[in-house]
């Protein structure tokens, strides 16, 4: 049974300071005008009344990380041959992320199906995922760009979290979701929260009830495939797109990357860095041919992957958390919801005989 504790708002920082003695702790705080997950600093304000500008994706999937150190050396038995000595740079230590939203934590479950496959698990992602715990904060307010209810989620969804924190009067109800999360709830700053459970459940019901206009996306996979070759459709919906890639960098479930090697003399390092399917160079081949030559082709792939290809491969699960960041921060005002609904409602023009 889940462990339920209560923490006063005033005790949140002292609790995080306790956790910081054993873990790296990240919490949302301002960096200029952007609200980001930054290393916990007791002198900095923690902002919990709004969702962060960016999800905490970097904590498990860094924007740029060194995978391997390597050294070249000549084979003493055959000087025409070069030997390579490579050493993996596996991450160490444990991390706690405080204040992420349910959509943020759920985003990593999209990664899991790809990077934690039985056949070829990604050892770097696997190490961080295993040693990163999420204390997720249920949403108290809903923005007009939010649509988690469209993708089988809700503002108090514990999926992907280790502890779910629900705002209640004077503090937060903390409910363990995983065994690792339960171990975080042993502080003397916490009190038994059983008496607050009914209050928390009522709040979650009220928040869920405040989201309306739920759309059924059951037909999205097949309908998007039906317009796959209709470039007139994709040129229309992508007309405003700037191909800036902001939507991908702000997305909790986008996981594309590029690999580069940097060498100095006989030593070098292999780096993995975020990449995005909205970039013209993402699919550029060495020959100069690009199978996705226009922004219409690239937007088709982005929307199709999230709402058609991924769910087809992974049991119907849509690779979108409904956080709405791609809508809120798009400089051109593109709304991915409108594109999906337009595809679902699309009726081909009648063919004249």
Tens of pLDDT, residues 172-182: 999 999 999 99
Distance CA 46, CA 37 (A): 10
Give pLDDT, residue 351.
55
- Within a domain: 196: yes
Mean pLDDT of all residues in the chain?
A: 95
Is the Cβ–Cβ distance between 102 and 148 less than 8 Å?
yes
pTM of the model: 0.93
Choose among 15, 62, 65: nearest CA to 40.
Answer: 15
Is the Cβ–Cβ distance between 6 and 196 less than 8 Å?
yes
Give pLDDT, residue 288.
94
**Portion of the chain with pLDDT greater than 90, in percent:** 91
Give pLDDT, residue 353.
55
**Portion of the chain with pLDDT greater than 70, in percent:** 99
pLDDT at 303 over 90: yes
Predicted confidence band of residue 79 (pLDDT cuts 50, 70, 90): confident
Give the chain's count of helices (H) and strands (E): 12, 12
Give the range of the structural domain holding residue 290, as residue numbers without chain letter: 4-345
- Within a domain: 235: yes
Total domain count, the chain: 1
Tokens representing 152? Answer: 């089988």
**Cα radius of gyration rounded to whole Å, the chain:** 23
Distance CA 302, CA 256 (A): 11
Q: Is the dihedral of CA 171, 209, 159, 33 positive or negative?
A: negative
Alpha carbon distances (Å) from 319 to 147, 193, 284, 347: 13, 34, 24, 25
- Within a domain: 280: yes
- Within a domain: 217: yes
- Within a domain: 39: yes
- Within a domain: 352: no
- Within a domain: 199: yes
Residue with tokens 């970097």: 58
Choose among 219, 244, 248: nearest CA to 311.
Answer: 219
Mean pLDDT confidence for 248-252: 96
- Within a domain: 350: no
Give pLDDT, residue 60.
97
Predicted confidence band of residue 257 (pLDDT cuts 50, 70, 90): very high
pLDDT tens-digit map of 304-334: 999 999 999 999 999 999 999 999 999 999 9
């Amino acid at each position: 049974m889940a462990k339920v504790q209560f923490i006063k708002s005033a005790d949140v920082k002292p609790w995080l300071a306790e956790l910081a003695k054993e873990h790296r702790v990240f919490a949302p705080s301002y960096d200029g005008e952007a609200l980001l997950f930054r290393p916990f600093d007791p002198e900095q304000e923690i902002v919990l009344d709004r969702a962060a500008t960016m999800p905490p994706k970097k904590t498990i999937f860094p924007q740029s990380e060194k995978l391997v150190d390597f050294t070249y050396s000549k084979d003493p038995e055959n000087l025409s041959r070069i030997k390579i000595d490579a050493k993996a740079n596996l991450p160490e230590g444990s991390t706690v992320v405080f204040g992420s939203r349910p959509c943020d934590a759920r985003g990593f479950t999209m990664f899991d199906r790809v990077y934690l496959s039985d056949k070829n698990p990604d050892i770097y992602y696997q190490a961080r995922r295993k040693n990163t715990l999420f204390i997720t904060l249920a949403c108290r307010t809903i923005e007009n760009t939010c649509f988690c209810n469209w993708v089988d989620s809700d503002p108090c969804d514990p999926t992907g979290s280790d502890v779910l924190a629900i705002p209640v009067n004077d503090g937060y109800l903390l409910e363990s979701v995983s065994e690792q999360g339960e171990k975080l709830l042993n502080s003397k700053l916490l009190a038994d929260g059983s008496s607050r459970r009914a209050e928390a459940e009522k709040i979650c019901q009220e928040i869920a009830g405040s989201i309306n206009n739920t759309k059924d996306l059951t037909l999205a996979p097949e309908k998007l495939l039906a317009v796959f070759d209709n470039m007139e459709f994709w040129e229309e919906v992508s007309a405003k797109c700037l191909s800036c890639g902001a939507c991908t960098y702000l997305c909790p479930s986008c996981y594309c990357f590029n690999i580069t090697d940097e060498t100095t003399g006989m030593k070098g390092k292999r780096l993995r860095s975020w990449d995005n399917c909205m970039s013209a160079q993402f699919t550029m081949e060495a020959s100069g041919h690009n199978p996705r030559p226009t922004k219409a082709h690239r937007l088709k792939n982005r929307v199709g992957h999230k709402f058609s290809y991924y769910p087809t491969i992974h049991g119907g699960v849509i690779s979108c958390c409904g956080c709405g960041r791609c809508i809120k921060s798009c400089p051109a005002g593109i709304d991915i919801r409108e594109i999906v609904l337009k595809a679902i409602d699309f009726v081909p023009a009648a063919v004249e005989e």
